[in-house]
């Protein structure tokens, strides 16, 4: 009986130590919103440089699973680590939701709003709830998403 209690205590301790490490692997809602606010400032200062930095993940625009992405007036990605030139407006989430259309419809200048959808954390994994903070800056619709 003492061995079971001791084993349970050890396993509980290991689990308690592991959860914060796993949580630190992913960005939080507050960090995603702060990154979007930083991206807005960068876009207003120098749009071309900002979009390039977002795509390359430079200048503080890549933190674990957080990064800004933007779409232009034609509906195509103007900034994204892998999808520049492809359609953001036609993007659907893993449940078939018209994600890109909702991002464009939700984004408003001087306002940060939320769009919720299903997206896998890593390639091949099951989709989970993700929320993107979205806004509009000039002719750019931009967002930063985090996993719930």
Q: Is residue 88 domain-resident?
A: yes
Of 41, 34, 60, 33, the C-alpha closest to 138 is: 41
Boundaries of domain holding 50: 25-147
Residue 24: the pLDDT is: 78
In a domain, 120, yes or no: yes
pLDDT at 60 over 60: yes
Percent residues over pLDDT 90 in the chain: 80
Q: Where are the beta strands (DSSP E) in the chain?
A: 68-71, 77-79, 113-120, 127-137, 140-147
Decide if 139 is inside a domain: yes
pLDDT band at residue 142 under the 50/70/90 scheme:
very high
Please indicate whether residue 105 or residue 6 has the higher confidence score (pLDDT). Answer: 105
Residue 122 belongs to a domain with what CATH number? 3.30.450.20
134 in a structural domain: yes
Report which of 148, 147, 146, 138 is spatially closest to residue 33, judged by C-alpha positions.
146
Place of tokens 């809602």: 29
Average pLDDT value for the chain? 88
Residue found under tokens 């509980």: 12
Residue 126 has pLDDT above 60, yes or no: yes
Counted domains in the chain: 1
- Alpha-carbon gap, residue 15 to 105, rounded angstroms: 42
Q: pLDDT-derived band of residue 123, with 50, 70 and 90 as boundaries? A: confident
Average pLDDT over residues 98-102: 98
Q: Does the residue 102 lie in any domain?
A: yes
Task: Please give the distance of CA 138 from its chain centroid, rounded to a whole number.
Answer: 21
């Amino acid at each position: 009986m003492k061995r079971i209690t001791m084993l349970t205590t050890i396993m509980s301790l290991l689990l308690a130590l592991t959860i914060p490490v796993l949580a630190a692997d992913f960005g939080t809602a507050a960090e995603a919103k702060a990154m979007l606010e930083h991206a807005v400032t960068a876009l207003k200062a120098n749009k071309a440089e900002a979009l390039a930095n977002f795509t390359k993940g430079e200048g503080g625009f890549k933190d674990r699973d957080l990064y800004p992405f933007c779409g232009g007036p034609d509906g195509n990605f103007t900034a994204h680590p892998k999808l520049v030139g492809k359609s953001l407006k036609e993007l659907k989430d893993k449940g078939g939701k018209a994600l890109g259309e909702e991002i464009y419809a939700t984004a408003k200048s001087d306002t940060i709003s939320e769009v919720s959808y299903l997206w896998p954390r890593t390639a091949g994994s099951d989709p989970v709830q993700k929320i993107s903070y979205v806004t509009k800056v000039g002719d750019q619709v931009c967002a930063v998403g985090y996993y719930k």
